[in-house]
């Protein structure tokens, strides 16, 4: 369970978000919508621990009642998926997946685990392909599985579908939701598209400009 308490964000004395609180149960996706520039991405940066120092924030975040906001990024075990799939172009697909497996995974288990992930994608023939040989939809799916293989404790999705064409979007959305349910971790989705929010079958928060 991911819980955010009284989150406020301001930039250059301009309040963007005030007193936002929510909680997300394991295996569920909370969607956040709102106009651009409202601070959606900053909320994700707050949760992942990469907030730019020029912004002022207050508020708390807890994962299973353990404080997150006091930890540095590297100990938070956060998974983040962005618009760009960010697959490493100089590594094959299987290498990209192996890259994400935690150190503690035993050596003989590593390759089978990565191959299992490929099988779930239905792309076993692409193990030695390079990211540039994959379609946009395939790249998005590999990127999600790569993130999940790193066994994050919670997942942040920053408009991960916006670069896909509409026909693909539906498939990828369903795939993402199914995988999140299987991994049984809380996920937060930031999007412009209300269809994204609907497809995630969870709560949806609309952020609007703070008025005084």
Partner 1 sequence: MPLKHIKWITGFITALLILPIAIGLVGTLLPAFHYFPPLGEYGFSVSPWINVFSQGEFYAGLKLTLITGIGAPILALWLALSLLAWGYQRPFFKKIEALLSPILAIPHAAIAIGLLFLLSPSGWLVRLFSPWLTGFERPPNWITVQDPYGASLIFALIIKEMPYLLFVMLAAMKSIQARESIHACQALGYSRFTLWRKVLIPQLYPIIRLPIFIVVAFSLTVVDLALVIGPNTPSTLAVTLFRWFNDPDLTMRYTASAGAIALMITIAMVLGGWELAHRAFSAATRCERSNGKRRGASDTLLGAGVIIGLITLVSAFTALILLPFWSLAKRWRFPDTLPSQWTWVNIERAAPLLMELSANTLIIALFATVIACGISLLMLETKRHQQKSSTNHEQQHAFDWLIYVPILLPQIGFLFGLHVLLIYLNLNGDLCAIIALHLMYVLPYVYLTLKGPYLAYNEDYLLQANRLNHRPWRHYISVKLAMLKPALFTAFAMGFSVSIAQYLPTLIAGEGRYSTLTTEAVAQAASGDRKQVGSMAMLQALFPVMVFWLAQIIPSRWTTWRLATKKRIIKAFTKKDKTCSA
- Residue 11 tokens read as 């930039």
11 forms part of the interface with partner 1 (CB under 8 A):
no
Task: Report which of 185, 192, 207 is spatially closest to residue 161, judged by C-alpha positions.
Answer: 192
Contacts of 46 (CB under 8 A, 6+ apart): 7, 9, 57, 59, 61, 69
Minimum gap (Å) between residue 90 Cβ and partner 1: 5
How far is residue 183's CA from residue 50's CA, in Å, rounded to a whole number? 24
Nearer to partner 1 among residue 89 and residue 108 (C-beta): 89
Of residues 106 through 165, those in contact with partner 1 by CB under 8 A are 128, 130, 146-147, 150
Q: Could you tell me the smallest distance in angstroms from the CB atom of residue 102 to partner 1?
A: 7
Q: Is residue 13 close enough to count as binding partner 1 by CB under 8 A? A: no
Q: Near partner 1 by CB under 8 A, which window of 26-34, 50-58, 166-174, 201-209?
A: 50-58
Q: Mapping DSSP to helix (H, G, I), strand (E, B) and coil, where does residue 147 land? A: helix
CB-nearer residue toward partner 1: 90 or 211: 90
One of 20, 55, 86, 204 touching partner 1 (CB under 8 A)? 86
Q: Which of 6, 25, 67, 84 binds partner 1 (CB under 8 A)?
A: 84
54 binds partner 1 (CB under 8 A): yes
User: Long-range contacts: 160-164, Cβ < 8 Å, 24+?
Assistant: 160/81, 160/82, 160/83, 160/189, 161/191, 161/193, 161/196, 162/83, 162/191, 162/192, 162/193, 163/83, 163/84, 163/136, 164/136, 164/137, 164/140
| Interface region with partner 1, contact rule CB under 8 A, candidates 21-29, 94-102, 167-175, 203-211 | 94-102
Is residue 18 close enough to count as binding partner 1 by CB under 8 A?
no
Figure out which of the listed residues 13, 14, 70, 90 binds partner 1, where binding follows CB under 8 A: 90
Closest contact distance (angstroms) between CB of 150 and partner 1 is 4
The tokens 């949806």 sit on which residue?
204
Angle formed at CA 176 by CA 89 and CA 134, multiple of 5 degrees: 30
Distance of alpha carbon 45 from alpha carbon 102, whole angstroms: 23
Interacting residue ranges for partner 1, rule: CB under 8 A:
48, 50, 53-54, 73-74, 78-80, 82, 84, 86, 88-92, 99-103, 128, 130, 146-147, 150
């Amino acid at each position: 369970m991911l819980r955010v308490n009284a989150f406020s964000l301001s930039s250059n004395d301009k309040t963007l978000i005030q007193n936002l609180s929510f909680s997300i149960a394991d295996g569920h996706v909370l969607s956040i919508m709102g106009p651009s520039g409202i601070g959606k991405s900053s909320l994700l940066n707050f949760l992942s621990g990469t907030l730019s120092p020029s912004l002022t924030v207050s508020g708390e975040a807890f994962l299973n009642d353990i404080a997150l906001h006091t930890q540095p990024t590297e100990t938070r075990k956060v998974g983040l998926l962005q618009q760009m799939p960010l697959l490493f172009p100089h590594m094959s697909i299987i290498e990209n997946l192996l890259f994400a497996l935690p150190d503690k995974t035993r050596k003989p288990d590593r390759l089978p685990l990565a191959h299992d992930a490929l099988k779930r994608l239905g792309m076993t023939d692409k193990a030695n392909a390079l990211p540039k040989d994959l379609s946009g939809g395939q790249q998005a799916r590999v990127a999600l599985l790569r993130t999940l293989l790193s066994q994050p404790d919670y997942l942040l999705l920053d408009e991960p579908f916006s670069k896909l064409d509409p026909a693909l979007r539906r498939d990828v959305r369903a795939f993402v939701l199914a995988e999140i349910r299987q991994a049984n971790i809380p996920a937060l989705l930031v999007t412009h598209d209300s269809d994204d929010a609907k497809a995630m079958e969870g709560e949806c928060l609309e952020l609007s400009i703070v008025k005084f």
